Structure 1
């Protein structure tokens, strides 16, 4: 072969490079969406500041921010992993984006991995911002170094559970139905998921049922560690594990790409 000539080498990029490139693209798209930023960043921040500074809801003994901060962190995970992902994926499916990506060299498992990584990247930004706001409002998290592992496990399982449910909704409903249903579920779980309203404000039977919801398990688990200093909230971890298995399994089984 003479100098200055090249032999084409057609083929897909390595799997890791494809996942990294798609994850970076998905993250940029999430951060550029003003409606998603309102849902994932602005609303949780406003709730944290408002209910910590104004005595609207009786959050029990101690500072209101100590009760609210873990719940708002759980809300941030749900807003990104469930509501935001369901809406974005639903409209990608409607406009044929997923169908075209399916024809590209990137495997479906790599696409799902990239979407999960983009969700985790946005969640890290959310958690950092909300933690800074909560600390500025006087939050005193408990648990110490031993609680960090429990918090990470709760956040990871919560992300998996909400991602599975969000993808299940986006892959089985029309985009408009997904938009309406995801926002409705967000509002209902905000009120009844133990995020800003303590579960003991509900009747005993209702509270027992609400404890089985993933948002309640995540907010209560984070509260057990960060407010009460518990080492490992087994019940909440078990509930989130069950939702993760059911949600991801159902999404893998019933998700329609077009």
Structure 2
């Protein structure tokens, strides 16, 4: 080896400390794993056309149509239309979207493979929760700006109460979606999730826009009705204690059931 080559090697070796290129594999911190998983789940959720249709486009179309056209009997002012649109969006993102996504992830072994990579089960679950929260924030921005442009307004306290009610509702529907998507086959979930979403949305619309429905009646036990009516009361400046209690009850029951029955793989 020439003297110039030896000099060059010495210069390069002195530039990098000993051990710079020695492999040092280690597990990422829980915070980094959760951030990475949440980012991945959020991007997958937002890039999925069907999820955008259910979670953003349909609620947005419902908001504009109900505010501008005489579609349903009864009062359809923005004080009812906007809360209903937000409730529909929450059902779409938390329940339908998560149920279908989870069911097909289980069917194709995506959850099992992710778990085999060293990612804890709780990271996978909370990553999906972060995705729902991210989508909910996008929904609030888009629907909120649209409602403001249409002339909607609410007191500051009402906005605060409405935000609290919305996120409690999102949590309840996410737990329900994880229960369905984490236990049933993908074919059954695909059919049931969309059918249940239609039924829940219809019941919520009937409860909100019909003047003959008591906000504190038995119909409020249904989560979509509780969320929709609770959102209306919240934006009017009243904290909907009954509806919040019902939603928390659904969250506890379905969350407990999902924790006990959830399966990370599916045979079908």
The reply to whether TM is greater than 0.5 is yes
Q: Aligned match of 1:189 in 177, 193, 200?
A: 200
1:48 maps to 2:63: yes
Any idea what SS the aligned residue of 2:24 has?
coil
1:146 maps to 2:154: no
Partner of 1:105: 118
Larger Rg: 2
Count of aligned positions: 250
Following TM superposition, the consecutive aligned residue runs of length 4 or more in structure 1 with deviations greater than 4 angstroms are none
Does the 8 A contact of 1:161 with 1:244 survive in 2?
Answer: yes
Write the deviation string for residues 151-196 of structure 1: whole angstroms up to 9, x where unpaired.
2321221121111110110111110110111100110011112478
User: Alpha-carbon deviation of 1:127?
Assistant: 1.1
Any idea what SS the aligned residue of 1:193 has?
helix
Any idea what SS the aligned residue of 2:221 has?
coil
Does the 8 A contact of 1:94 with 1:174 survive in 2?
Answer: yes
Partner of 1:155: 166
User: Alpha-carbon deviation of 1:125?
Assistant: 0.4
Write the deviation string for residues 77-127 of structure 1: whole angstroms up to 9, x where unpaired.
110011011111110010000111121221111111111011100110011
Question: Where do 1:53-68 residues align within 5 Å?
Answer: 53-60=68-75, 64-68=77-81
The TM-score with structure 1 as length reference comes to: 0.90
Does the 8 A contact of 1:194 with 1:220 survive in 2?
Answer: no
What stretches of structure 1 of length at least 5 have no aligned partner? none
Write the distance in 2 (CA, Å) between the matches of 1:155 and 1:173. Answer: 27
Does the 8 A contact of 1:72 with 1:196 survive in 2?
Answer: no
Write the distance in 2 (CA, Å) between the matches of 1:237 and 1:2. Answer: 59
Does the 8 A contact of 1:154 with 1:222 survive in 2?
Answer: yes
1:16 maps to 2:31: yes
1:7 maps to 2:22: yes
The TM-score with structure 2 as length reference comes to: 0.87
Write the distance in 2 (CA, Å) between the matches of 1:105 and 1:40. Answer: 31
Write the distance in 1 (CA, Å) between the matches of 2:150 and 2:168. Answer: 28
Q: Aligned match of 1:253 in 234, 254, 260?
A: 260
Does the 8 A contact of 1:48 with 1:72 survive in 2?
Answer: yes
Q: 1:134 to 1:5 in 2, by over 3 A?
A: closer
Does the 8 A contact of 1:172 with 1:256 survive in 2?
Answer: yes
Does the 8 A contact of 1:57 with 1:197 survive in 2?
Answer: no
Q: 1:247 to 1:195 in 2, by over 3 A?
A: farther
What stretches of structure 2 of length at least 5 have no aligned partner? 1-15
User: Alpha-carbon deviation of 1:201?
Assistant: 4.5
